[in-house]
């Protein structure tokens, strides 16, 4: 029997492009009982590249919470700078745009994926967290984001996961992380 080698690790994040961030947060908190959300406005990119060109002028807000072990990310881009988000909105509107997986070594994983014909579409660094979105979106929601699992990133995500475990359900938005 042939062994199937997976290209990616387990999905730890589902990310949705939304039109109205506040309404999306309220839906997830009140209907789905997911929260509290940590809001990053704007996302502090140190660098951002989209299809090989700088995209540092992107105006992006995200809200992140945990549903058990799965991170829910809500994304609202407030300008028309070309990005994977404006591309998705132009094709599909709103909805599940990508899934996130952790990467022990982003450079190594991108080299390995390139050999399989999978290239990055958008990549960068936000507040010291390196990431890359790769071309796997042959259907809506199928894009994969690799998130480098540095000790700082893992601790940051664990802080949000703990907040979700202790969440009373009262306030949909958490204080500053």
**Domain chopping of the chain, boundaries:** 11-165
Q: How far apart are CA 76 and CA 98, in angstroms?
A: 14
75 Cβ contact partners less than 8 Å away, ≥ 6 residues apart: 15, 16, 17, 18, 60, 61, 62, 85, 97
Distance of CA 132 to the CA centre of its chain: 10
Q: How far apart are CA 26 and CA 35, in angstroms?
A: 9
Of the pLDDT bands very low, low, confident and very high (cuts 50, 70, 90), residue 5 is low
Of the pLDDT bands very low, low, confident and very high (cuts 50, 70, 90), residue 3 is very low
pLDDT tens figures, 37-54: 999 999 999 999 999 999
Fold of the 11-165 domain: 2,3-Dihydroxybiphenyl 1,2-Dioxygenase; domain 1 (3.10.180)
Mean of the pLDDT values across residues 91-119? 95
Q: How far apart are CA 25 and CA 74, in angstroms?
A: 8
The structure tokens 């050999």 sit at: 115
pTM confidence score: 0.94
* Mean predicted lDDT score pLDDT of the chain: 93
Of the pLDDT bands very low, low, confident and very high (cuts 50, 70, 90), residue 109 is very high
């Amino acid at each position: 029997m042939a062994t199937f080698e997976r290209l990616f690790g387990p999905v730890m994040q589902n990310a949705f492009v939304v039109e109205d961030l506040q309404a999306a947060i309220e839906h997830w908190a009140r209907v789905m009982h997911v929260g509290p959300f940590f809001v990053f406005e704007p996302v502090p990119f140190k660098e951002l590249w989209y299809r090989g060109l700088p995209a540092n002028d992107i105006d992006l807000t995200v809200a992140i919470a945990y549903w058990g072990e799965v991170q829910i990310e809500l994304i609202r881009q407030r300008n028309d700078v070309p990005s994977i988000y404006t591309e998705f909105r132009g094709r599909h509107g709103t909805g599940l745009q990508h899934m996130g997986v952790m990467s022990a070594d982003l450079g190594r994983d991108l080299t390995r994926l390139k050999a399989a014909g999978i290239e990055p579409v958008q990549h960068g660094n936000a507040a010291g967290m390196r990431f890359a979105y790769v071309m796997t979106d042959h259907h809506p929601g199928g894009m994969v984001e690799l998130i480098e699992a540095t000790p700082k990133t893992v601790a940051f995500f664990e802080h949000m996961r703990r907040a979700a475990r202790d969440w009373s359900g009262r306030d949909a938005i958490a204080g500053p992380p």
